[in-house]
Structure 1
Amino acid sequence: MKRIEKLERLAAQQAAKKQTIPQAHVTPLHSGKGILELRSRNTTLSIGGRAKLSVIYNSASVGGGSNNGDVFLFPGAIPLDDSGEDGQLTFSARDTRLWFKTRTPTDYGNLNTLLEIDFWGASGNERVGNSHSPRLRHAYIEWGNFTMGQTFTTFMNVSAFPETNTLLAPNMIMVRQPLIRWTKPFKRGNFQIALEQPESTLTDTTGARITPDDDRLPDIASKLSLYGDWGQASLSGLLREIRSDGASVSDEAFGGAIHAGGRIKTFGRDNLRFGLSYGNALGRYVALNGFNAGSIDSQGRISLHTISNGHLAYQHWWNESLRSSFAYSQTQSDNDLSIVPVNKKLSSYHLNLLWSPLSAVTLGLEYIHAMRTLENGLEGELDRFHFAASYNF
């Protein structure tokens, strides 16, 4: 009788576990186990990251004192009319990263966390130490169908990113920020909706950027993602309030944007990656904040800017370890602000050759041609050669 009672208790416990809330089945940022995995009674801790060296030659210097722009390609900082230095060689290991993941089973599904840092914080000098402070990239909790913390905005599609030596092709949708997101999985995809951190960026009458810091409503982002043997695609929507509360005048404007992106399989391991965006609330979400969400006049009245954006990239695999990508990206504002020196159009071409002699090692050489046009007609161009060596551990 004791044995029968024990078996009945075990059967009841197994039945209770089958009734727990399912996980959201969202593709993780880091699918590997990392270099180290530690287990306690209920929790597994994984540690991993990457070491990366970049050697970059720019046709003109765009970095200033910290050399940020000479490594990280800010499209809005491309020199105009040959105003930068002729030629700039830069070595950098700042894109090295370190991450920590935990996984804990619970009665309501797995509780997962991710903390990731890189070294794009405050810069040291290039004379002796070349030190750089750690910077928070991701820090979030996943439990059941909820994600809470800082990570990529729901509005973007990571799978649509081209594989490039640069951190990303510059004229794309990319923001990391704190958010609360709910995910509903289904057989061939999922639906997500999130409340995300707001931040209004505006252009004043002189062309300077201002951030009023008067936000009172969260950005609302949603995304429908579909998966299959053909690849992956998504359709996203974004709603925002852009607000300024001045000393005498308070004004706000509501805007929205849509984004479609994906990665489509073609022949063998080849694939086509794309993204298209349009709306009057894109602002800081596109081109690394190369554009603002709107402008504010001398009376404090806000006007939103309509922006269109797109990228297209094709990746070809020469063999199991050698591949190339060709990518083009462009962002353009449809507003006439010719009286102030703000960005009108940003675009870039990328062509690379990447080799992975080991699964965790990648060596790559990339050529980039980037262009920038202001509303007042000024233009600038930048040519970049980028060699990178990285090891994922």
Structure 2
Amino acid sequence: MNAKILTQSTHFQSTTVRPTMQRTLMMSMIALSMGGMSVAAQAQTQQQKEIEQLRQEVQALRGLIEQQKVQNAQTATAIANVQRTAAAPVANPVLKTAKGAEFNLYGNVRLDASYQVEGGAKDMPYNQINGVPLEGNKEQSDRLRSTLSATRLGLDFKSPVGEQDVKGKLEVDFLGGANLDNLRIRHAYLNYGNWLIGQTWSNFAIPDYMPETIDALAYVGGAVKRTPQVRYTTKFSPQTNLVVAAEDPKDSSINQRLPALTARLNHQFADNLNVSVRAMGHEKRINSEEEMAWGVGVGAKYDVVPGTTLKADYYHVKGDSSFVSFTNKGVVAQADGSLLQSEFDSIMVGITQKFSDKIHGTLGYGYMSFDENQSYTNILKNSFPKDSTQSDATRANKELWQGWANIFYSPRKPLSFGLEYVYGERTALEAVNGSKTGEDNRINAVAIYNF
């Protein structure tokens, strides 16, 4: 009985314990499952964080790589520049005088040649349009002329004085004297601040707006005048300045007692358009008689497109022959001592085209017209130069014109070669043997070595 009771008790316990253990096992499995899901979720979240961190690190690494590329390119460019600078010769080597002034030496060796079909009598290959023989009167035909007189030597220098530098230029060539074969001063001046003292281009008759020519003396309507002067420049803005000067124009036809006064207003309307307006006044004195000569000028330079440039220059002048080239006498004396003045208009226009880095050329035209004044002409008719049987009226002109075309070729620096054709005519105030027209018909060539 006891055994039976024990058996029943054991069965009861077994029956009771088994469901409990099953529930516990199930609960454990559920807990494990939920724990596993939690761990998996945490693992997934951690993985996403790691991926995002890795992505950020990759982006940062890319930034560093790009920055390093830029630095490498800059370093390579700097090295190339240093190497290029070290390898290339200095364009303007700076030298020093014994007193410490710095200067640069420059210049050229220039050969000019001209085959003259018809032209002037002077033995030089440069422009003589205002004095070419009239048709049928000892014309100068089929002549070859050459010279190296335009060979040039110059110094640019500067020296510190106080808080500023004194700058200057000294430049000479061999186009001086009656036959244009003597040494002469082209430029010799000092610059200090806004002041210039010395000899350089006239403030009134400037060459900036002349179309390019091979001829060293330029063509009708142009001016290559250099005068001793005192000049002051006032700058109103980066685009506008005013230049005033007292000049000695070296007018040998008068008794000069006062300098010429000139003014020039320069303005840049745009990057491709520059304009200059100019004025001049000068007392002309013969014996005790006086007249005031005056003139105005307007010049413009316009870059139509890169490589194509238009230039134009206009003058109206009364009573002066010392600034603009190829003019009649500015003033003459009448029998009673009173003075008569010549008056003229001139214009020069041209277009320059750059075909390549080595080739460019210019087409140009110049015209000059003098007002007719019979009293002025009569005075010249009665005046005969010592070296001629012709009166000044046959040497003075009513009209002048010239047209030209040229091309320049620079195979490599510092060499340059040019070829030019020019044709022009003059109409005299008075005829010689029934002719009033003279002809200028030439082919010009030049070879230049710049240093």
Q: Identify the TM-score tier after normalising by the shorter chain.
A: 0.7 to 0.9
**Aligned residue in 1 for 2:200:** 151
**Aligned residue in 1 for 2:221:** 171
List aligned pairs for 1:1-393, cutoff 5 A. 36-39=93-96, 42-60=100-118, 62-64=120-122, 67-68=123-124, 71-82=125-136, 83-122=138-177, 132-167=181-216, 168-185=218-235, 186-200=237-251, 211-212=253-254, 214-227=255-268, 228-245=270-287, 250-288=288-326, 290-337=327-374, 338-339=377-378, 340=381, 341=393, 342-377=396-431, 378-393=436-451
Q: TM-score, normalised by structure 1?
A: 0.80
What letter corresponds to residue 193 of structure 1 in structure 2? V
Distance 1:257 1:133 in 2: 31
The answer as to whether partners of 1:200 and 1:243 remain within 8 angstroms in 2 is no
Q: Give, in angstroms, the shift of residue 116 of structure 1.
A: 0.8
The answer as to whether partners of 1:324 and 1:352 remain within 8 angstroms in 2 is yes
Q: Which has the higher helix share?
A: 2
The answer as to whether partners of 2:397 and 2:429 remain within 8 angstroms in 1 is yes
The secondary structure found in structure 1 opposite 2:130 is: helix
The answer as to whether partners of 1:146 and 1:180 remain within 8 angstroms in 2 is yes
What letter corresponds to residue 410 of structure 2 in structure 1? S
CA-based RMSD of the aligned residues comes to 2.1
The secondary structure found in structure 2 opposite 1:235 is: strand
Q: Give, in angstroms, the shift of residue 317 of structure 1.
A: 1.4
What letter corresponds to residue 240 of structure 2 in structure 1? G
Distance 2:224 2:302 in 1: 20
Deviates more, 1:192-201 or 1:72-81: 192-201
Q: What 5-or-longer segments of structure 2 have no aligned partner?
A: 1-89, 382-392
What letter corresponds to residue 139 of structure 2 in structure 1? G
Change (3 A) 1:322 1:336: same
**Aligned residue in 2 for 1:11:** none
Q: Give, in angstroms, the shift of residue 159 of structure 1.
A: 2.0
Q: Deviations over 1:69-89 (max 9, x none)?
A: xx1212222121142232110
Q: Give, in angstroms, the shift of residue 113 of structure 1.
A: 1.3
The answer as to whether partners of 1:53 and 1:388 remain within 8 angstroms in 2 is yes
Distance 1:191 1:267 in 2: 28
Distance 2:339 2:284 in 1: 8
What letter corresponds to residue 166 of structure 2 in structure 1? L
Distance 1:306 1:148 in 2: 31
Distance 1:111 1:386 in 2: 40
Greater relative contact order structure (CA < 8 Å, 6+ sep) = 1
Q: TM-score, normalised by structure 2?
A: 0.70
What letter corresponds to residue 260 of structure 2 in structure 1? D
Q: What 5-or-longer segments of structure 1 have no aligned partner?
A: 1-32, 125-130, 202-210
Distance 1:199 1:53 in 2: 29
Distance 1:382 1:158 in 2: 22
Moved >6 Å (runs of 4+): none
**Aligned residue in 2 for 1:8:** none
The answer as to whether partners of 2:221 and 2:314 remain within 8 angstroms in 1 is no
Distance 2:413 2:247 in 1: 36
Aligned length: 336
Distance 1:261 1:387 in 2: 28
The answer as to whether partners of 1:282 and 1:307 remain within 8 angstroms in 2 is no
Q: Give, in angstroms, the shift of residue 108 of structure 1.
A: 4.5
| Percent identity for Structure 1 against Structure 2 | 22
The secondary structure found in structure 1 opposite 2:322 is: helix
Distance 1:91 1:353 in 2: 19
What letter corresponds to residue 314 of structure 1 in structure 2? I
Q: Give, in angstroms, the shift of residue 42 of structure 1.
A: 4.3
Q: Deviations over 1:240-268 (max 9, x none)?
A: 111111xxxx2101131110012110122
The answer as to whether partners of 2:119 and 2:129 remain within 8 angstroms in 1 is no
The answer as to whether partners of 2:194 and 2:233 remain within 8 angstroms in 1 is yes
The answer as to whether partners of 2:134 and 2:437 remain within 8 angstroms in 1 is yes
Distance 2:420 2:214 in 1: 6
